[in-house]
Every structure is written in structure tokens, then in C-alpha cells.
Structure 1
Amino acid sequence: MAHTYPEAYIDYLAEYFGSRDFFECHEIMEEYWKKTSGSELSGCWLVLIRIAVVQYHARRGNGAGAYKLLIKAAEEIQPRLMDRLGLDGERLARMLKERAQAWGGPEGVRYEDFELPIADPELLRLAQARCAEKGWIWASPGQQAPGEIVHRHLTRDRTDVVAARKDAAAIRAASREERK
């Protein structure tokens, strides 16, 4: 059975398993998620974004951020749709719940590699090939990532993102005031 996967998804997986640059994974998938907003798979892309950000926060020692997003990903995952993306959706859902239980809360967060369960051999082949094209080693340990990857957010100009979040917060605050 032939599958056609979005290039952004293959790039995400190559980064996730190769460079272990979880911030970049988030950026790649967030851009794609925004372009395909409202699609049937939109929730899947968001879960993958959350998983990358969980890993990013956990590795940086931000237990509160990592745990909060892990819980959201575990609640939002739709295993059958994840299966359509070449992943083992049931296994991934189980892995998210098991990690949440193991951590028990923000204070229990510890970084360890979280390997997405790729079920489709063709997806695995495509992602490994992309990883090799970039010169990365597949499934390299994330604990060995260089500091510029661990703290990627400090090197990026995110002025537009900060402004958008500020605007969204102002809209939410105005909405709360209107309801009073």
C-alpha cells in the first residue's frame, strides 16, 4: 500500500530522530498545522507539536511546561488518525499515558528520549533517508544534543510570535470582561 506523507512531516521526523532539535520540530510542524488548519488530521499535527515541545521543555528542565503539554497530548491524541500517519496510534497513546504516570507531576519530569512508534516501513524509510541527507544519525541520543539545540528558543527572533500571543491574551481578557 503506497502512502503519500507531507514533506513537513518527513522533515519533522528527520529532525525528531536525527538532530533532536525539538524546537525546530515544533517550528516545522506548527507551520504545516497552520497551513492545513481545519483538516481532519489537524489534531494529529497538534499532538506531534506538543510532543516535540514536551521533549524540548523536559530537556531544558522546565517540568511545569513539559508536564502540562504531555497531559494535553495524552488527552487529545486520536489513535486511529495517528495510524493514518504511519504511526502505531494505540501504542503512542499508551506511551503518553505511561510517561504522564511515571512523571506524576511537574516535579517528576526527567528528560529521556521518547521514540515515536513508526509502524509504516515506508514512512520509516523516507524519514531515515531525509535524516541521512541532513548528515544526522538516526535515533541519536537526545541527551548529547549541543547547547545551541537545547536552548534554541534563545537564538531565534520570535518577535511575531510574542506579539501574536500578546494580542491573543488581550482578546481573551476583553472577552472575560464582557462576560462579567
Structure 2
Amino acid sequence: MKKTSRRAGLALALGLCLSLAAPGVSTAAPETVPTQHASLSAADAAACPAQGQRYKTSATADKVFLVGPGNEIFWIPNQTVYRNLWADDSGIGTAHWSCAESWTQMDNAELVKSSSSGAVYIWDRWEYAMGGYGSWRRIANWTATFINKYHFDPSKIRTVPAAQLIYIGSDWT
């Protein structure tokens, strides 16, 4: 009896597998939508802002979002944090509310450089490190990343003692 039920189960499983490969039935993977836009169609996801862009949505009122490295969505929680990075509101676009369906709050974000080097860092509270969330991440490339992609304001950079840059996470690209 055991052999018969095993054979029947195997035959049923093989039959199901073969039916998927039948002529006229596509076995190609369906078009996927990036994780941060899982509830959107591929066309709507393609219309979401690109890395480096800031935007608001009609459903989230005054919340400003930033598309960061790896297309992670960051929420800028208030004007103080916003003004730590940019001088004005120029460059803020609008997008469908689902473009911001999953985000990380960018608490206390600021731009700093060490008193001992010219490298510029951003505090983004994104990575988990040393028992808590947050890290200083080096801005990878002054022109391409800092100026052209994110449009950060150079006048917002504070110089701090090197000892304040305790944990350096991955680069901000």
C-alpha cells in the first residue's frame, strides 16, 4: 500500500509539472516590480522617482521622501533635518503614494566632515551597527554623488572632531 500511494503521489506530481510545460503555456518568470514598489504595476513603478530625487505624495501631505543608495526610500521627518541637508525646497517633485510604501526615517540627518580629513559624511540612521541604528556614511564622490545626484548643499557641512565619527558604515552612493 505504501509503495502504491508513493507511486501515485509521484505520478501526480510529475503530471502537474508536465502540464506547466505543455505547448502554449509560458514558463517564463513574470515581470517583477522592485521590492520598494511591490504593489505597483511595472509601468507605475518605472514612473517612481530615481535615486537622488526628493518627492512628496498626495496621500502623505507634507512628508518629503528621498530615494537613497540602492533605491531605499528615506523619509525626512521635519524641516530641521531637511535644512541640515538642503537650503531650499527646489527640486522636490511629486509621485504616486505607493512609491513611498516602505521607507526608513532619516532621523537627525546631517552632513559633516572630519577635522582631520576632507571626506564628507552623512548621518542617515539607516544601518544597524554597534548595538543601535545609525552610522556615518562617507559621500562616495563629491561631484557625482553629493552635487549632481542628491543636490546636497555644501554650506550645510559642519566640521567635527574626528572622534565624533565613531562608526563609519558603507559609502553613500
TM-score interval for Structure 1 and Structure 2 normalised by the shorter chain = under 0.3
Largest Rg, 1 or 2: 2
The higher relative CO (CA closer than 8 Å, separation ≥ 6) is in 1
More strand by share: 2
- How high is the TM-score relative to the length of structure 2? 0.23
